[in-house]
Each structure stands twice: as structure tokens, then as C-alpha cells.
Amino acid sequence: MNRDDDPERKQDEESTPWEDAVERERQDAARDDDHGDEEKEEDKQESYLPSKAAAVHERLRVSGEKELERDAMALLWSAIAAGISMSASFMARGLFDAHLPDSDAGFLVGSIGYTFGFLIVILARQQLFTENTVTAVLPFMSHPSAANLWCLMRLWGVVLAGNIAGAGLAAFTFLHLPMFSPEVHESFLSLGHKVMENSPFEMFSKGIVAGWLIATMVWVMPSADQAKAWVILIMTYAVAIGEFPHIIVGASEILYLVFAGETSWADFLLRFGLPTLAGNIAGGTFIFALISHAQIRNDMDIQRQGRRGAWGFARKHDPRRR
């Protein structure tokens, strides 16, 4: 067969260096999934892509694409499970507070309970809204289009609704079933009242920090290897001791107040829900994800066009490239 008539070869010749690098990264990721070996994944990615930051970005973008393609009902059930699991943060913190002295030391120890729900949800790979503000938005940032925007809004809507439904179900169960002592019940109420001491603008402002810290956690997870649990614990512990509101953990806390008759649905939605949601999205998407995407955008353009970098250094070609 004539070399010019070979469609596979012609397609390879027409592809850009960036597309070739991304395709090789996909193939290596698939092989690693088959063999259960991720030890040198980042090193292999860097041999194809222009930087380690680009390799992390590409892994998260591919993960985001997979989430955007999932069936809505599968997303919903996973999100409901995540909302229930996140109530472990509310429960553990309430249990700690009920048995610890009301002091700075008691607060620091009790805040460890806040990390429990995040550990369960992330290690179990359940759908959590604040994770998806990073991974799912990268495909849209890489290829902005009306179709990708619709897929992103669909994912966010389904996951957020499922998370809040699961959190509300857990809060209702904690309140109405004989699970906890009166002291723990009072501790649960105290947690909710503490959150509601913030004004809507404070909810929004502090929510930005919470969204940023969760996004940072998601970004460093691909490089954490066996230390993923520690990354989750440290980042979410910082959210706890800073008392930065999180839309899903906070939903358990405030819905417990609603079901107990201590606050209204209007306060849940207007004073807590919408400001905290906006802050989490702003911190996780418009600050962290946008800046992290911008840092590798020029690398992407350079490799797509086969140009030299900013300082004139040519990237060494991969020997496997034809």
C-alpha cells in the first residue's frame, strides 16, 4: 500500500504535537488501569506533555469528561450517597463537641470530625459538588462551546440536588430516630446556629475560601499517591478550623435546624444556601480552576503549533514519535 494512501498514517501526520501527547497519555492511563500500576504515571505524562502542571491538568480534564458523559440517574444516586456520607462530618463533629470541653483545645480536636465525610466520599469516589466545580469545568475551559456548557450545567444541577437531598435525609434521620443522646442533639443544634451567625455576605466570602481549599485538594490528589488520605485530612481540617461554610456539610447542619423548627426554609435558602453556593463556586471554579487552566494554556498553544517556548528552548521530541 502507498504510504500516502494509508489513512492511519495520514491522520497521524495531520495531528498536532499536543493532540499526539494527549493521545499517548490516554493510552498509558488505560494500560495502567488494566495493570493496576500508577507509580510512574506522572513521569510518563511529563515525557509527552510540556510540564507536570499540564500532565495534572490533562488527567483531571479527562476525569471531568468521563463525569460529564455519565448517565443522569447514575450521577443522581451517587450524589445522594455522597450527601448521606458527608453527614458523617456533621455527626462526628457533633459527637466530639458533645464530649469535649468548651475550649480552644476542644475546638481543635473536635474539628477533626469535619474531615470524616470528605474521607468517605472522596476515597469511595462518590459524586461531591465541590469536587466537580474543578474537574468538570476543565473540559469546558479547554473547549468552550454551548454543548459543553449544557453538559456542565446538567452535571452540576444533578449532583447538587442529589447531595442536598442526601444531606437532608441524613439530618432528618438523626433528628427523628433515637440514635443520639440529648447532649449530642444540643451539640448538633449548636453547630447549625454557629453557621447561621454569619451574614449572607460573610457566607459568600468565607465560602470562597472553602471552595478554593477543596479545589486545591482536588488538584494535588493525582500527585499524592499513597498520601491521598493525608491530603484530604489536612485540607478539610483547614476548612473546619477556619469555619468556612461548605454547601453540602452546611446543608446537613442547617437542615437539622429546619427540621427541628429552629430556623426557616427561607433562611436555609437565602441566608445560607445561595450565598455559600456562590462562594464555593467562585473559589473552586472562577479562581482556582481558571488560574490553574491559564498557567498551562500557553504550553498547550506552543505544543499544538510545534513552536519554541518563551525562552527559545525547543522541547525534546519523544523517540516513539514518527
Residue, of 133 and 68, whose pLDDT is higher: 68
C-alpha to C-alpha distance for 126 and 128, rounded to whole angstroms: 6
pTM higher than the cut 0.95: no
Asked if residues 279 and 9 have their Cβ atoms less than 8 Å apart, the reply is no
Cα-based distances in Å from 29 to 55, 188, 300: 11, 44, 19
Q: Apex CA 226: angle with CA 225 and CA 230, to 5°?
A: 105
The answer for residues whose C-beta is within 8 angstroms of residue 111's C-beta and 6 or more apart is 93, 237, 240, 241
Query: Is the residue at 4 inside a domain?
Result: no
- CA 112 to CA 115: how far, in whole Å? 6
pLDDT of residue 12: 47
Q: Collapse the DSSP code of 231 into the 3-class scheme (helix H, G, I; strand E, B; otherwise coil) and give the result.
A: helix
**For the chain, how are helix, strand and coil distributed in percent, rounded to 5?**
80, 0, 20
Stronger pLDDT, 303 or 177, i.e. the higher one: 177
pLDDT band at 26 (very low <50, low <70, confident <90, very high): low
Does residue 166 contact residue 82 with C-beta atoms inside 8 Å? yes
Residue 127 CB: number of other CB atoms within 10 A?
26
User: Helix crossing, 72-99 with 247-259: angle to 10°?
Assistant: 70
Asked if residue 107 belongs to a domain, the reply is: yes
- Which of these ranges, 70-74, 291-295, 297-301, has the smallest mean pLDDT? 297-301
- Predicted local confidence at residue 290, as pLDDT: 66
Determine, yes or no, domain membership for 17.
Answer: no
In a domain, 47, yes or no: no
Q: Who has greater pLDDT, 10 or 131?
A: 131
Confidence check: pLDDT of 53 > 80: no
Q: Check residue 50 and give its pLDDT.
A: 54
**pLDDT recorded at residue 195:** 96
Measure the CA dihedral 174/177/183/187, to 10°. Answer: 10
Looking at residue 10, what is its pLDDT?
A: 45
Domain tally for the chain?
Answer: 1
Q: What is the mean pLDDT of the chain?
A: 80
Instruction: Say which range, 6-20, 52-66, 294-308, has the weakest mean pLDDT.
Output: 6-20
Q: Does a structural domain hold residue 315?
A: no
For residues 74 and 81, which has the higher predicted lDDT (pLDDT)?
81
Domain presence at residue 312: no
- Is residue 233 assigned to a domain? yes
Judge contact between 114 and 92, C-beta under 8 A. Answer: yes
Task: Strands of 157-208 (E only): list them.
Answer: none
Q: How does 153-187 read in b/e, with b if 16+ C-beta sit within 10 Å?
A: eebbebbbbbbbbbbbbbbeebbeeeebeeebbeb
CATH code, 288? 1.20.1080.10
% of the chain surpassing 90 pLDDT = 50
Tens of pLDDT, residue by residue over 131-184, are: 776 777 777 777 778 888 898 899 999 999 999 999 999 999 999 999 999 999
Residue 177: domain span: 71-305
pLDDT of residue 51: 58
Q: Is residue 38 part of a domain?
A: no
Cα separation, 250 vs 246, whole angstroms: 5
* pLDDT attached to residue 239: 96
